[in-house]
Amino acid sequence: MFEKFIVQQNAHWEGNLADMGVPRLAMAELVKFVNVRQIVALIGVRRCGKSTIAKQLISFLIKEKKVDPKNILFLNLESTLLNQFKNDPDNLRKIFEEYLALMEPKGQIYVFLDEVQFFSDWQVFVKGMYEKGGIKFFITGSNSQLLSAEMATLLSGRSIAKNIFPFDFREMAAARKIETTGKIEKIKNEGKLKKMFADYLRHGGFPEIVLEKRKEIRNEILANYYKNILYQDIIPRFDVKNTREIENLLLYLLSNIGQKYSYNSLSEFLKMNDKTIKEYIGFFEKSFLLFELTNYQFSLKKQENFPKKVYAIDNGFIDVVSFSFSENYGRFLENIVFLGLLNAGNEIYYHQGKHECDFVIKRGTKIAEVIQVTKVLDNNNEKRELNGLLEAMEKFNLKTGLIITESQEEERKIDGKKIKIIPAWKWLLDLK
């Protein structure tokens, strides 16, 4: 019954590994988990490249680990061909049994379930097969149930969750075939990199957008992504009744990236219940669309009393659905820096004392870095930006601070403290 579908999904059985996409930086971490028993879950927003990474893992298994291709099963569970079967997890067992009969694999089997959330109670099948042994599972999804905390419940500690994001700046350079591996290459390609950064800053890093040159097509694709996340991932999944309210809230937040708010202030402005606002923002976070930032305090209780700030998963969404790019360059720049920090696995806060510092980075139990972001440091804003950075450095006992700009680069010494000023495109290329 499923044989044709299975064969269509597994071109690698016939040696077709030709197009595996741009090599993703996440692969370096993911290949470490190939030989561990736990289920590996790749989670992230729609269209960020999870399926491509799954196929890159298949290529790695075949080319580097010398796994027999017929021992690898890939299934895209979002396929419309499965629509009538998605409400019964036993159909996953039937598909798997047909695969076994068709390919007769010997030894360890690797199963990739792509967009697993489209099959109800998928975890029943996965847990059952996991317990039998001999199968290594990789699953991808955009579902809130695949968040690390909920994954532990669904799969009872059998899983390792890895976040996947749209292209970062280095991956975009690779997609555009611009070499950035060494200092000489960066110097030689500086003009191309600056031009590419302007594109990245405005249109973001979704793989399909990066590879599409026509602006009008890009905007249409981004608008469709936005609608699909809101109307397919969020509203039906969380059974949102008042669609107008959630639309207005999302539009407001995307139009006010990096700006402080409280649930009460949003309630007054949008004429919505503050508890509903908090709930909706939780939905946005669970769908990987927005990320809420809090003011760092040593006391978690105090931390909750301060205003929040919000950032988006991709700058393209900000451009398509909210405000003018030219008038709000600084917010686009701040969001790009946030995404760079997030992609690098940092724990991120902001600091608010007498002055504000955009980002406070916690590593382990200590604050390790403080960062200010501004398009340009000049007479109009220099005092404000430096005061915010220096206050945070003093509070967290740091000798070095960082200011990320559009193009300025220098180093200053102020009261025995070092202030590094660096262009965003250079900073993004050097992120660890």
What is the residue-level pLDDT of the chain in tens, covering all 432 positions? Answer: 999 999 999 999 998 876 678 889 999 999 999 999 999 999 999 999 999 999 999 999 999 999 999 999 999 999 999 999 999 999 999 999 999 999 999 999 999 999 998 888 898 999 999 999 999 999 998 765 565 555 656 677 788 889 999 999 999 999 999 999 899 999 999 999 999 999 999 999 999 999 998 989 999 999 999 999 999 889 998 999 999 999 999 999 999 999 999 999 999 999 999 999 999 999 999 889 999 999 998 766 677 779 999 999 999 999 988 767 777 899 999 999 999 999 999 999 999 999 999 999 999 999 999 999 999 999 999 999 999 999 999 999 999 999 999 999 999 999 999 999 999 999 999 997
Distance between CA 199 and CA 197 in Å, rounded? 5
pLDDT for res 221:
97
CA dihedral in degrees (326, 329, 332, 334; nearest 10)? -170
How wide is the angle at C-alpha 34 spanned by C-alphas 32 and 37, nearest 5°? 110
The DSSP-derived string for 1-39 is --HHHHHHH-GGGGT--S---SPPTTHHHHGGGTTSSSE
How wide is the angle at C-alpha 387 spanned by C-alphas 386 and 388, nearest 5°? 90
User: Which of 154, 144, 2 is CA-nearest to residue 86?
Assistant: 2
How wide is the angle at C-alpha 133 spanned by C-alphas 131 and 136, nearest 5°? 105
pLDDT for res 55:
93
Domains along the chain with CATH numbers: 3-164 (3.40.50.300), 171-429 (no CATH)
Please state the pTM of the whole predicted model: 0.93
pLDDT for res 28:
93
Q: Is 372:389 a contact under the CB 8 Å cutoff?
A: yes
pLDDT for res 432:
79
DSSP code of residue 369 = E
